[in-house]
Structure 1
Amino acid sequence: MDSQMELDVLRAQKGDHEAFTRLIKAMEPSFYRIASTIMKSETDSLDAAQETIVKAYLSLHTLKEPRYFKTWVTRILIRECMRLLKVKNKVVPLNLDINTQQPEASIEEKLDVRDGISRLESEYRVVISLYYLQDLSIKDIAEIIDQPEGTVKSRLSRARKKLEKWLSNDTEAGGIRNERI
């Protein structure tokens, strides 16, 4: 996190509403990307993001280390998404904008990956989304979902194996590898 963001966190903790607004504006695109990988609809994604902002504002004083603001607020967002899913008791397909490192990937291949990810259980979908789409480290993911790093690694491994199995059954490309999607 940059020093300006840390200063804004400190200012916001002292009641500076403009500093809090700057923090949220900097995080907005990330909020929506994360929420849309977990929630079923755009409306639910926006609801989760909005609830996260309110909860972050109300509990900002509990954040002890300003440098961990991004991790802290991302954890709030994921918990809010999971809470909303429980309340609505929904099955969660994904709405992802799949970015591949291979520019030659066809739309069909991207849709196959999207479909495969949407078939994963939420615990796998969350780690896959945070790792590949948000480019977070295993350590950061472990902090966000409040699980040991080994759990994150095993969930990533299991998710990759499931995706590879599904994709190899659906395509002749052989599925995905252990590289970033």
Structure 2
Amino acid sequence: MTEHLLRKAKKGDSDAFCRLMDMQTQSMYKIARSYLKNDEDAADAIQDAILSCYENLPDLKNNKYFKTWLTRILINKCKDILHRKKLTLYTDQVPDTPFYEEDFETSEWNQLLAPLDEKYRSILLLYYMEGFNTTDISQILNMKENTVKTRLQRGRRILAEAYQYQIKEEHA
């Protein structure tokens, strides 16, 4: 179904493009939220990624890499927002964050990944939550596959050590 919608969207069918984006929204939200930590910035990154996708979709050479391509666009938009935020001086340190509900699994996963360095968190998220393999992740993040494998292994080890420490504290 995705392939059919993708072909139609590349030919300019806006309904097919909207349906294609609807299918990707949840995945895009998880990725953007893991990078940006708040809903407003995540929504901005998603909106920018969708616009860029719409404008550049005809240039996508191989349809089977659509999700990888879209994810890479989204991550670049997230990085742009983070870069802009570093350049902005904030006068109000308490942001207004809206209440939102997220499913239990996602909130647990975000809590587990929160203390990790971004270089491990993004790879673990793409691998475990989004189901990308190490080859796809290396393309999305524009890094060598061996680097992805190393960071995946280190991220797992850091999580395991943190979890073991937490268990020991609870039983002490």
- 1:26 has 2:23 as partner: yes
Over aligned residue pairs, what C-alpha RMSD do you find? 2.5
Gaps spanning 5+ residues in structure 2: where? 88-101
Hey, what does 2:86 align to over in structure 1? Answer: 89
Letter aligned with residue 55 of structure 1: S
How much does 1:83 deviate? Answer: 1.6
1:42-74: CA deviations, max 9, x gaps? 111111111110110111121011221111111
Quick one: distance in 1 between partners of 2:129 and 2:78?
17
Identity rate, percent: 36
Compute the TM-score of the two structures, normalised by the length of structure 1. 0.76
Letter aligned with residue 156 of structure 2: R
> What is the number of equivalent residue pairs in this alignment?
156
Q: Is contact 1:124–1:155 with CA below 8 Å preserved after alignment?
A: yes
Quick one: distance in 1 between partners of 2:86 and 2:116?
16
1:156-181: CA deviations, max 9, x gaps? 111122222323323229xxxxxxxx
How much does 1:97 deviate? Answer: 5.7
Hey, what does 2:163 align to over in structure 1? Answer: 167
Q: Is contact 2:9–2:16 with CA below 8 Å preserved after alignment?
A: yes
Instruction: Please state which structure has a larger fraction of its residues in helix.
Output: 2
Quick one: distance in 2 between partners of 1:149 and 1:48?
26
How much does 1:139 deviate? Answer: 1.9
Letter aligned with residue 155 of structure 2: A
1:139-166: CA deviations, max 9, x gaps? 2212211222211110111112222232
Distance 1:148 1:159, change over 3 A: same
Question: Residue 168 of structure 2 aligns to a residue in which SS?
Answer: coil
Q: Is contact 1:35–1:49 with CA below 8 Å preserved after alignment?
A: yes
How much does 1:115 deviate? Answer: 4.2
Question: Residue 156 of structure 1 aligns to a residue in which SS?
Answer: helix
Once superposed, which parts of structure 1, at least 4 consecutive aligned residues long, lie more than 3 Å away? 96-100, 113-116
- 1:56 has 2:62 as partner: no
Question: Residue 64 of structure 1 aligns to a residue in which SS?
Answer: coil
- 1:156 has 2:162 as partner: no
1:61-100: CA deviations, max 9, x gaps? 210112211111111111111221121139xxxxx86639
Task: Select the residue among 5, 8, 11 that pairs with 1:8.
Answer: 5
Hey, what does 2:98 align to over in structure 1? Answer: none
Q: Write the mapping of 1:30-179 to structure 2, written as runs, cut at 5 A.
A: 30-89=27-86, 99=105, 110=108, 114-172=110-168
Quick one: distance in 2 between partners of 1:141 and 1:171?
31
Quick one: distance in 1 between partners of 2:61 and 2:105?
35
Q: Is contact 2:34–2:110 with CA below 8 Å preserved after alignment?
A: no
Hey, what does 1:176 align to over in structure 2? Answer: none
Gaps spanning 5+ residues in structure 1: where? 91-95, 101-106, 174-181
